[in-house]
A and B are shown apart, each in its own frame.
Chain A
Amino acid sequence: MVALTDLPKPDQKTPPTALELKLRRKARINTAIRYSVLIVVGLIMVYPLVWMIGASFKTNAEMFSSPSFWPKEPTIQGFIDGWKTSTPYTFGHFFLNSLWIIIPKVIGTAISCTLVAYGFARFEFPGKKILFVTVIATLLLPNVVTRIPQYLLFRDIGWLDSFLPLWVPSALAGDAFFVFMVIQFLRAIPRDMEEAARVDGANTLQTLVYIVVPMLAPAIISVCLFQFMWTMNDFLGPLIYISSVEKYPVSLALKLSIDTTEAFAWNQILAMSVLTLLPSLTVFFLAQKYFIEGISTGGVKG
């Protein structure tokens, strides 16, 4: 298949050959078909999101009366009312709660996953195979299965209604997926640099901090990004462990407005949903460059 970009530009001085004209016509038709399909499918995928953003500027009455996403009388009343919430706290308070859950969790994940992955990828020790299989097994295990025993455990320790049950498992490399991701990335990095560092006199920890971590940066950034987005969107975790409204993160706070209002103020809910999306989107676009490098494991230059 010929792509338009493979052919010389038509404004060049020599007239196009007959073959060139034929190929160009073919390429145009091909391109038109491909782009039409992509646009249609893309629109179907993205429409709910676009509708939500549009709807957050609608009045509650208009919401279900027209399928169009463009509000007839745009208003930010939804944002104002939604921000106040039906609780003594503003939505900002819940945002801070979310951050207070996310930031220690992300830091803990990054540190613990790097340490564990470094151990698995670079050292030989008795029982390594069994331990690694265990890590992969937890990766395959649905999260929900462990919820009840975990709940009982944290209840007996007395950590209910605190952020500890959300922080601690991650800080102990409980997220097998991230460990696995970093291990795969590390396997693609040659060991020579670490050996050079050892010859230069670095001990294991210095090698990790000065040599391995900088080389792992794209993978670690991806880990942080995933953890940020997933924690931001996590609903079940906070729902189970956190009972006082004061400590609710945004994911729970959104549901709160559904529960407590008699007639659902959909515009408020949607407005707050839009706000909730913003941090994840911002962080994603800021870190996009590293993120792509991080998930395509081959991107390491030796």
Chain B
Amino acid sequence: MAELHLKSVEKTYGNGFKAVHGIDLKVEEGEFMVLVGPSGCAKSTTLRMIAGLETITGGEIHIGDKVVNELVPGKRGIAMVFQNYALYPHMKVRKNLSFGLSLKREPKNKIEEATNNVSNILEIEELLDRLPKQLSGGQAQRVALGRALIKQPEVFLFDEPLSNLDAKLRASMRVRITDLHKRLRAEGRPATVVYVTHDQVEAMTMGDRICVMKDGHIMQVADPSTLYERPANAFVAGFIGMPEMNLVPAVLKNDAAPVLTLHDQSITVNEGLGHRLAGLAGPVTLGIRPQHLEVVVDGSENAFSAQITNLEFMGHEINVHAKIGDAVFVAVVPTEKFDASLGRGDRVGLKPIGPHIHLFDADTGQNVSLSANG
């Protein structure tokens, strides 16, 4: 196992399109790094550049202490799991697993031992003599995982490996993969993993750290809780979290306590925000997660007055959609705390919880409400 280091890596295609704009990323030895972002953010391209399936047009990629820029994929010490498994359709599972080793001309007994070992870990012993077309999606993905595991690579690369599975299977495979990662770590041979996904649930639950990407730029690299609690910019704030964070233009005035003006309403935030702002004032983007927006009686002090436009019953909680001027907010309320008499068109008060308010620069989108120590 080794660390992976991308230094100002760039990718420009033959037609002049620049997909990756000089990204710097360091994945520590044994770390589970998730690359996440909307489609077209170049996360898969980045992964394929690490694998060597795409050439890089600038910068350096280090795996361990060697620069792998110009090495072919087979010589980089990586293993990759593909979205659609990419098992060799004409080979039995056993041969699929051992193909890489037999290309390296490893002795037969060693290959057999490795095959048995891996199939034991992934519980695919009874599948060894089947062809890929006789496997279910989950089984095929386990075999694909085994094909990566058997090579004992320096770095594991996963390219949206779970997106072809149904929701239930995806959840169980997610646990299986993180389990495996922790198990290898406990056994003293930690696996460095780069995992690409567009699914933030996968990102949040699996990653030691998450790298959020957009249009070939890295927006933020941090562990899941930092990403959620202290997003560096409006993009990360909106991308992570379900339902999405409410992001609305507002005006900030800083008197004794910060005053937020939205449409024609102003509220004073008495606690949890002022000390983070350092006297900042002017137009900003207000960001508040639906979970951090209290629904109170209309006319309550320091709450915006809003009109309910929709109610979504989710079982244990209710998503309240409410409008202030043109801006629609979503608030999540536990079902038992929700006043059942409220309906479409009724007015309620929306009160952002001070410590969870984020303010983003109206132009750059950078989070301006992050104080140095949190």
Contact = CB atoms under 8 A, between A and B. Distances in A.
B103 A200 contact: yes
A195 B53 contact: yes
Given A193-B88, A210-B99, A215-B89, A198 B72 contact: yes
Contacts of A210: 88, 99
A215 B78 CA distance: 25
B103 A195 contact: no
A190 B53 CA distance: 15
Interface in B74-120: 74-75, 78-80, 82-84, 86-90, 99-100, 103-104
Interface string A181-201: 000000000101101111111
A90 B26 CA distance: 78
Contacts of B72: 198, 203
A30 interface: no
Contacts of A201: 73-75, 100, 103-104
B90 A192 contact: no
Nearest to B99: A200
Contacts of A202: 74, 99, 103
Contact of A301 (B52, B86, B89, B147): B89
A111 to B, nearest CB: 19
Q: Please indicate which of the listed interface residues A196, A201, A203, A206 has the most CB atoms of chain B within 10 Å of its own CB.
A: A196
B133 interface: yes
A298 interface: no
Contact of A193 (B53, B79, B89): B89
A124 B15 CA distance: 13
A302 B83 CA distance: 12
A196 B80 contact: yes
Contacts of A256: none
Contacts of A190: 84, 86
Nearest to B133: A301
A202 B53 CA distance: 13
Interface of A: 124, 190, 192-193, 195-203, 206, 210-211, 214-215, 217, 301-302
30 contacts: A190-B86, A192-B84, A193-B87, A195-B51, A195-B53, A195-B86, A196-B87, A196-B88, A197-B99, A198-B52, A198-B72, A198-B73, A199-B52, A199-B53, A199-B73, A199-B74, A199-B100, A200-B103, A201-B75, A201-B104, A202-B74, A202-B103, A206-B103, A210-B88, A211-B88, A214-B88, A214-B89, A214-B90, A215-B90, A301-B133
